Structure 1
């Protein structure tokens, strides 16, 4: 059960992270007509612009999506309820999650498209390349005329509209939107038992205090077994904690970020990145950073946590590493101050490419009305947990307060939920906000929200918007990053472990420049300036 919960929780964090190198082509500025479509007047005349059903005469659409392999979509209560409400019947052409991208690419290549792509994430390059070719329909006019829920969200959140609008001015896909997103990735956590054993009533607030805590974990036997087997700070290749630690030196993201003056930075060449490496090298040399950091797996890290050996670590929830049930005794890590105030990355609340309409679709107006319901709070509640009366019910429908019902037949709630809705282990087009979640959050969830509000939110901002690159810039950036990323990752490990002395920093910077580090900044600065100036 815990593994299933972890899979879902990690998806919420990881899949919502925008792709900095999402590429695209230049596309066409013309609005292509749907291939073989009936006339716009004829298809629109079958649509009720308000209420349900959304069509006067039933229609059938084909849909391709990511299948988690738990329940056939045709048997899911979500789709049954949507057909009953809307008058739109769906025929499914799904593929397993692990092979979906490959199957979707084959579908694009074959020309035998479904009417709708639903779930998963279209690449930005797919959006613009196939949008420009007329395979994917532009959606902005359909949104304006037939999608009042989504239109209101985009009007109220212009950054979201900008982030899903390609350079040719069109919207070719719809996103998953979380208006209350917080973490950029799974947080770091202190071992609450260690804090108590060390007599610490507050967590560190500076790098010096953090160092002192880690040193005490190593030397003062906080797990009380009489052995010096504690591991002050553990990680898997630094990927799980890099972003949080970089925040101590004013850096928002691991690769590309913009500062408050709208200047774009390439993190591995920043002076603050050197300070981060210097701090980790100190921890490594004194045995305060796990010596297996660059070789262990996530499961090996967790085994140490369950053995009560680790003092500070990263995971979606602390109990995923330490074991046991959700609790409020392991404090969330807040980026600590160094010689500069600490910062943190805020999740953009956006995962693009979750829904698209192809030129095979003869009912685009009805289709956009169908998906628009999922951007209402009622529709999002239906998609998130299935129809009311199975796993949940309203306590007060007016303010969206809900409560869980017993799982039919007992068993794991997440596993049963996955039989009701496709909103499991994949990215789907919908709205998420506090109302959609209201009533489902218990004491633990309320505590998490409070920790985030107090420790992360005040110092956080979105590191970099979800921009589109031109096809040429994408190809150049991808080519440069291919070798540069490998070099940077190798040098990070060498600097941290002392295989490469930090006195060679200038040599490292010169190599980064020769490999295109400065050019990467130019590419993303131009894309950011265009995004920032767009309406």
Structure 2
């Protein structure tokens, strides 16, 4: 019996030794088939210290879906792409999405769950961030920024407003923004008038809506182009051009009317949200626009023509035909920087005082594009992805990604050179933006172009487009930037809110646009049909639309 127990104990000891040896043979030899978790020692061992380059000790590939840019020939062979890969040791496998189908493709990808590691330059809306962030599709970036985001943390420290704008209710940050504080873009609802015609007819720059009416009438009847024909077009607009809708400038002499972004016609005053198109002042604005249209002072094509058709009128090769137009810059209706030089002969009309004394220059709130960089739950190396994007905020990297190579597309300013804002300059653009090229990303993805950065570019004098736009904005629009009423910022929304808003806003905005055109053309009589117009909007549940926006605004401002 004793011999049997000894034998059993010996067998057990042998089995224990064998199992221990087997276990030890696998230790540290990488034979396990389990995928390492993100953020483990495997990932950490690749990273260099935050803020240094290269980012990784070994080359890492990120799969990135990017919005196609008509000014970029090829993201894969782009000079900045190659330079940044060499500096960071991060290779990008690009999936380029055509710009015109960007939103459709984004929706399909999010619905299919076939995500890339990174979504880049796709302008993902705050509502989409909120929906897919709470579902775990988009990773919260807070901890990644804290550990790896050297440049992002510096930006947040300098500009806490940027951090606040991209922080969702609940405290999570799901995306990094593109910061482009285009000073002239921030008040882009402008009108431009052909100054030589004013001079020839002995007319002063209009300062009220009534004075504009008289100027446009003189353009139509007094042959300012001097060809003996009644071919002048006093005012022509393209609804498809940048900031060129028919009510974008003129309606702000009657009621605050922000036109652009996700909250069209929506404003906030004393913490309360409302819309411009139900107000009695909107009705008065419609009557004024109808008067201009009925007397042939607004071209009938202003509701239908595209930007190319408008530019053909503005650049008529023989005589000047176009008296005035609206848009963020002269390139909306002329050949910007073109050989004819006609673009430079148009100057801005200041914000006009309406019959009720109203003069608004809406703040378009375009300086911050949210959703420029997001990491999905498919990313194996989110720390590396965050470091890669974080580096794009560096001063030199912003210049390279947006303008190109040093001393070819841009250079450092020389001692004594003055910037656009009249202060000492820091850099100079050597080639004009807007040409198809393959040396930069042409304003795609995160970058840090603050007002200080943009206005520190070397001024090239009175013919410098940036100088012109700066001065026109500062002199004719900033004085009318209101302090008691504002444009609603982009809002984070829940899935339920976003779904309900999508249906309601399309129905309402389509109807408002339709009736705007009908009232102006005269197909509908604004006095006789105003009550029906208002009751129709009520029936479309406009009250609920405003209520949802108010809920989202309150959640965002009180987070």
TM over 0.5: yes
Whose Rg is larger?
2
Give the Cα separation in 1 of the matches to 2:377 and 2:67.
Answer: 20
Question: Contact (CA 8 Å) 2:223, 2:232: kept in 1 or not?
Answer: yes
Question: Contact (CA 8 Å) 1:122, 1:352: kept in 2 or not?
Answer: yes
Q: 1:55: Cα distance to partner? A: 2.6
Q: 1:260: Cα distance to partner? A: 4.1
Aligned residue among 268, 271, 274 for 2:283? 274
Question: Contact (CA 8 Å) 1:48, 1:56: kept in 2 or not?
Answer: no
Equivalent position of 2:144 in the other structure: 142
Q: Is 1:495 matched up with 2:544?
A: no
Give the Cα separation in 2 of the matches to 1:52 and 1:100.
Answer: 32
Question: Contact (CA 8 Å) 1:400, 1:436: kept in 2 or not?
Answer: no
Where do residues 118-197 of structure 1 align in structure 2 (5 Å cutoff)?
A: 118-184=120-186, 185=188, 187-197=190-200
Question: Contact (CA 8 Å) 1:147, 1:369: kept in 2 or not?
Answer: yes
Where do residues 387-398 of structure 1 align in structure 2 (5 Å cutoff)?
A: 387-396=405-414
Q: 1:400: Cα distance to partner? A: 6.8
Equivalent position of 1:318 in the other structure: 330
Question: Contact (CA 8 Å) 1:204, 1:336: kept in 2 or not?
Answer: yes
Equivalent position of 1:22 in the other structure: none
Q: 1:190: Cα distance to partner? A: 0.4
SS in structure 2 of the partner of residue 487 of structure 1 = helix
Aligned residue among 72, 80, 83 for 1:81? 83
Give the Cα separation in 2 of the matches to 1:451 and 1:262.
Answer: 31
- Structure 1 residues 204 and 67 mapped into 2: Cα distance closer, same or farther (>3 Å)? same
1:71-124 CA-to-partner distances (Å, cap 9, x unmatched) read 332321112211222222222233333344444444434434222222222243
Question: Contact (CA 8 Å) 2:235, 2:297: kept in 1 or not?
Answer: yes
Equivalent position of 2:13 in the other structure: none
Equivalent position of 1:229 in the other structure: 231
Equivalent position of 1:19 in the other structure: none
Where do residues 82-481 of structure 1 align in structure 2 (5 Å cutoff)?
A: 82-184=84-186, 185=188, 187-200=190-203, 202-236=204-238, 240-254=245-259, 255-307=264-316, 308-318=320-330, 320-323=332-335, 324-325=340-341, 328-338=344-354, 339-348=356-365, 349-396=367-414, 401-405=426-430, 414-415=434-435, 418-423=437-442, 427-433=444-450, 434-436=452-454, 438-439=456-457, 441-443=459-461, 444=464, 445-460=466-481, 463-481=487-505
Give the Cα separation in 2 of the matches to 1:192 and 1:279.
Answer: 23
- Structure 1 residues 489 and 362 mapped into 2: Cα distance closer, same or farther (>3 Å)? same
Question: Contact (CA 8 Å) 1:173, 1:356: kept in 2 or not?
Answer: yes
Q: 1:251: Cα distance to partner? A: 0.8
SS in structure 2 of the partner of residue 354 of structure 1 = strand
Question: Contact (CA 8 Å) 2:130, 2:494: kept in 1 or not?
Answer: no
Normalising by structure 1, report the TM-score. 0.84
Give the Cα separation in 2 of the matches to 1:423 and 1:290.
Answer: 34
Equivalent position of 1:512 in the other structure: 537
Q: 1:441: Cα distance to partner? A: 4.8
Q: 1:526: Cα distance to partner? A: 2.1
Out of 97-106 and 310-319, give the one that drifted further: 97-106
- Structure 1 residues 531 and 252 mapped into 2: Cα distance closer, same or farther (>3 Å)? farther
SS in structure 1 of the partner of residue 369 of structure 2 = strand
Give the Cα separation in 2 of the matches to 1:492 and 1:395.
Answer: 49
- Structure 1 residues 522 and 404 mapped into 2: Cα distance closer, same or farther (>3 Å)? closer
Provide structure 2 residue ranges, at least 5 long, that are not aligned to the other structure: 1-34, 418-423
Q: 1:435: Cα distance to partner? A: 2.3
Equivalent position of 1:39 in the other structure: 39
Give the Cα separation in 2 of the matches to 1:404 and 1:327.
Answer: 20
Give the Cα separation in 1 of the matches to 2:238 and 2:321.
Answer: 15
Aligned pairs, how many? 491
Equivalent position of 1:48 in the other structure: 49
Q: 1:246: Cα distance to partner? A: 1.7
Give the Cα separation in 2 of the matches to 1:267 and 1:232.
Answer: 27
Q: Is 1:533 matched up with 2:544?
A: no
Q: 1:207: Cα distance to partner? A: 1.2
